Amino acid sequence: MNTGFSFPSDFIWGTATASFQVEGAAREDGRKPSIWDTFCREPGRVAYGHTGDVATDQYHRFQEDVDLMHELGAHSYRFSVAWPRVIPEGSGAINPKGLDYYHRLVDALLEKGIEPAVTLYHWDLPQPLQDAGGWPHRETALHFENYARTVFDGLSDRVGRWITINEPWCVTLLSHLLGRHAPGMQDKSAAYRAIHHVNLAHGIALRVFREGGYSGEIGTTLNLTTPRPATTREEDALAADRAADRDSRMFLDPLLGKGYPERHLAAHPDVELPVENGDMELIAGKIDFLGINYYNEQVVKFDPEAAEQFTSVPSFYPETAMEWPIVPEGLYRQLHWVAAQTNGLPLYVTENGCACDDVMTRDGSRVHDPDRIDYLRKHFRVLARAIEDGVPLKGYYLWSLIDNFEWSFGYTRRFGIIFCDYADQRRVPKDSYYYYREVIAGNEPV
Ligand code: IFM
């Protein structure tokens, strides 16, 4: 069905991946272990003990993936640089061979007219920095400075869009409080120290970028939680608002110069944020855009017993293979929630997509994934509505280009629009790849 809507002619359609999830080549050309290499080897952390050792082998097969992106008509590819490839010990010596890989990838993309959009940090912290204390430790944020400068120096002549940190919520709370991601800690104090240091690392990279006079735009990517109230009752609306304090405002407010949310900190007097003079100014440095990663929406209701008086309730929507409810309207609400606070700041959806239980046809030539197409179509329609409303949305990066290592789920969840046959690394475009190709070609939500 044609909706009669066209996206702006300069709207960016892209796909996204991250280093640890696709590269493989874990011990090649001087790369050293990251916290995820370690975590994968700890019993019970990752499904079936899967590792990132080979992943989708993009390190060796990037040309094939670039060709597939070209055939897709993608305008941009969002990928991340692996810190342990470029500065294997986290600090100290640069590994030119590691950086060379990204030179080759960037050149291959540009050759096909695809803009690189580079994330500096998508979770693969060099293990030596973890051994020295990791994100709860201020030094880690300080080491990010040299790493960021090295990558900017190496690639900024050809990269026009930079993202400092992917999903600080996952880097901090999921990894240091809930223990589900590397380094697998469950320590509240460490988690909040990590929050401040990850925010600080963003601010430091921003300063390096501005002071270095590099060209291009720079921003960051948040996975916000903007819960929907279970009912129209005022107490549920307040509960939903409070539920955004920790998971959204602890990351968004400092970027916007509002500091950390007092209401949340007042409810957690045991928490101390290791803020030093000048930190908040750095964190609030001007960004050129904000990236939003959206997958689902939570529903909450008032709960007088809970510390912050809210509790999550089921949402009763169909779910993806991640058991995440499919709520496109939640993306619409979230874009408006952000736009209302960011005063015309350009926004990108830097990730959106879904995991499905995909299988190849018997002859191995196709993968039919109607559920993913349905998911995407519904999300494209809300993007269109948000733009019509005036939300300054500039682009969309589909997660993911290709099936990959889905963190603690290993290879058991498939997010790609290209199927990866892990037995032989064969790439098979799924039906959703061909659907996305039509959307890009027509620049409309078909
Ligand atoms: O695979 C992840 C990605 O690394 C970060 N955002 C969410 C995706 C799906 O879980």
CATH number at residue 344: 3.20.20.80
- Decide if 64 is inside a domain: yes
| 99, β-bridge pairs | none
Is-catalytic flag, 89? no
- Decide if 149 is inside a domain: yes
- Looking up tokens 């939680």 gives 225
- Decide if 194 is inside a domain: yes
In a 13 Å sphere around the CA of 207, the CA atoms on its Cβ side amount to 18
- Decide if 446 is inside a domain: no
* Ligand 1 site, CB within 6 A: 18, 21, 167, 293, 351, 399, 406, 415
Instruction: Report the nearest-CA residue for atom 2 of ligand 1.
Output: 406
In the reported structure, the alpha carbon of residue 98 is separated from the centroid of ligand 1 by a whole-number distance in angstroms of: 24
- Decide if 4 is inside a domain: no
Which atom of ligand 1 lies closest to the CA of 18?
Answer: 4
- Decide if 6 is inside a domain: no
Q: Which of 23, 115, 167, 406 is catalytic?
A: 167
- Decide if 48 is inside a domain: yes
Residue range(s) defining the domain that contains residue 99: 12-441
Q: Cis bond leading into 116, ω under 30°?
A: no
Which atom of ligand 1 lies closest to the CA of 21?
Answer: 4
- Decide if 283 is inside a domain: yes
In the reported structure, the alpha carbon of residue 406 is separated from the centroid of ligand 1 by a whole-number distance in angstroms of: 7
What's the order of all strands across the beta sheet hosting 228-229?
Answer: 228-229, 299-302, 310-313
Please tell me the total count of domains within the chain. 1
How many degrees, rounded to 5, is the angle at CA 274 between CA 271 and CA 280?
Answer: 115
> DSSP string spanning 12-36?
EEEEE--HHHH---TTSTT---BHH
Is-catalytic flag, 351? yes
Tens-digit pLDDT string for the chain (446 aa): 557 899 999 999 999 999 999 999 999 999 999 999 999 999 999 999 999 999 999 999 999 999 999 999 999 999 999 999 999 999 999 999 999 999 999 999 999 999 999 999 999 999 999 999 999 999 999 999 999 999 999 999 999 999 999 999 999 999 999 999 999 999 999 999 999 999 999 999 999 999 999 999 999 999 999 999 999 999 999 999 999 999 999 999 999 999 999 999 999 999 999 999 999 999 999 999 999 999 999 999 999 999 999 999 998 999 999 999 999 999 999 999 999 999 999 999 999 999 999 999 999 999 999 999 999 999 999 999 999 999 999 999 999 999 999 999 999 999 999 999 999 999 999 999 999 999 999 999 99
Residues 130 and 32: beta-carbon distance below 8 Å: no
